[in-house]
Structure 1
Amino acid sequence: MTLDLYDNQIRDNGAQHLADALQRNTTLTTLDLFDNHIGPLGAQHLAHALQHNTTLMILDLGANEIADDGAQHLAHALQHNTILTTLNLYGNQIGDNGAQHLADTLQYNTTLTTLNLYGNQIGDNGAQHLADTLQHNTTLTILDLYGNKIRDNGAQHLADALKHNTVALFLSSSLSYTHFHLYP
């Protein structure tokens, strides 16, 4: 079952109510909360629910305001969640710190196959943390880093990681604004 709440005004309070329901729900497999003004507190509520939910496979939190604190809560939840396969965090301004929290978790998570981090102000440091993870994580197959602030140094770390991993990596060049794909 899919619940599509794309482009509403759910905010943190609404996210808390959804999280409460999500803890007990046994039928929902996809939850789309794209563009709902959900901040770090709402992400914390949803992360808590993910630790208990046994059916949700796809969570779309794109274009919200979770920032690095929200990413940290979600990363913690992914340490315990063995169901979620797709997480969209497009445009949440998680930065290098949020990328590091997610990277640390992905070293151990064996179910997430798709992670969208498009447009999150991730720079070379965040790219390096993600690259380090890619050398150990064999489950992630799609990592979208398009529209971030990754420069030559970060791209080099990612390229080195791809020598040991089969992930499809999507990047952009901050110098030319072109979209290219790297496949090992």
Structure 2
Amino acid sequence: MNEISNEGDILLADAINANTSLTSLNLNCNNPRETSGEVLALALCINRTLTSLHLNTNNILYKGKIAFAKMLNVNETLIYLDLSSNYFDKRIGDALGKALYKNTTLTSLNFYDNLLGNDRTKEIANALCKTIFLAI
């Protein structure tokens, strides 16, 4: 497990913004800081090369989870996103479902082992039915 500091989060986000060749990033099993998810999600709103992002088992904090859902509204390059084992709850499920209605580039999404509940899973499933490109 990595122990990336808040400063490290900012440096990583800056690198993601500046890099023009990186297509895949694996940040599995990190110990997130207070702003980790928000800073990374903002970078992904700007980045135009990353197509694959692995973020499983990070327990991203609430604001970061919301930021990732919002990022899916605007990011046009990610095709694979792994958010498994991050304790996404019902509130995050709502935001994720709304974002998936708008996103047309994701072809693979992993949100295994989260706490979405039946209603939110149904919302996400409805969004996936409208997004014909996505494979779970």
Q: What is the TM-score when the length of structure 2 is the normalising length?
A: 0.91
Residue 159 (structure 1) shift = 1.4
Among all aligned residue pairs of Structure 1 and Structure 2, give the percentage whose two residues are the same amino acid.
34
> Which of these residues, 73, 86, 89, is aligned with residue 120 of structure 1?
86
Match runs of 1:16-27 below 5 Å: none
Counterpart residue number, 2:118: 152
| CA–CA separation in structure 2 for the residues paired with 1:43 and 1:139 | 25
| Structure 2 gap ranges (5+) | none
Equivalent of residue 90 in structure 1, options 56, 60, 67 = 56
**Residue 96 of structure 1: how far off its partner (Å):** 4.1
- What is the one-letter code of the residue matched to 1:123? D
* Bigger RCO (CA 8 Å, 6+ sep): 2
What is the DSSP-based 3-state SS (H/G/I as helix, E as strand, rest coil) of the residue aligned with 1:71?
helix
Q: Distance in 2 between matches of 1:143 and 1:154?
A: 15
Equivalent in the alignment of 1:168: 135
Determine the C-alpha separation between the residues in 1 that align with 2:119 and 2:40.
Answer: 27
Higher strand share: 1
The separation in 1 between residues aligned to 2:52 and 2:36, in whole angstroms, is 17
In structure 2, distance between residues paired with 1:111 and 1:68: 26
Question: Letter of the aligned partner of 2:76 in structure 1?
Answer: T
Deviation at 1:67, TM superposition (A): 4.9
Please list every run of 5 or more consecutive structure 1 residues that lacks an aligned counterpart in the other structure: 1-34, 170-184
Q: Distance in 1 between matches of 2:34 and 2:129?
A: 29
The structure with the largest helix share of the pair is 2
- RMSD value over aligned CA atoms? 1.5
What pairs with 1:31-180 in structure 2 (closer than 5 Å)?
35-67=1-33, 69-166=35-132, 167-169=134-136
Distance 1:39 1:154 in 2: 32
- Distance (whole Å) between structure 2 residues aligned to residue 75 and residue 45 of structure 1: 14
Contact persistence 1:95–1:126 (CA under 8 A) = no
TM-score by length of 1: 0.68
Q: Distance in 1 between matches of 2:34 and 2:80?
A: 19
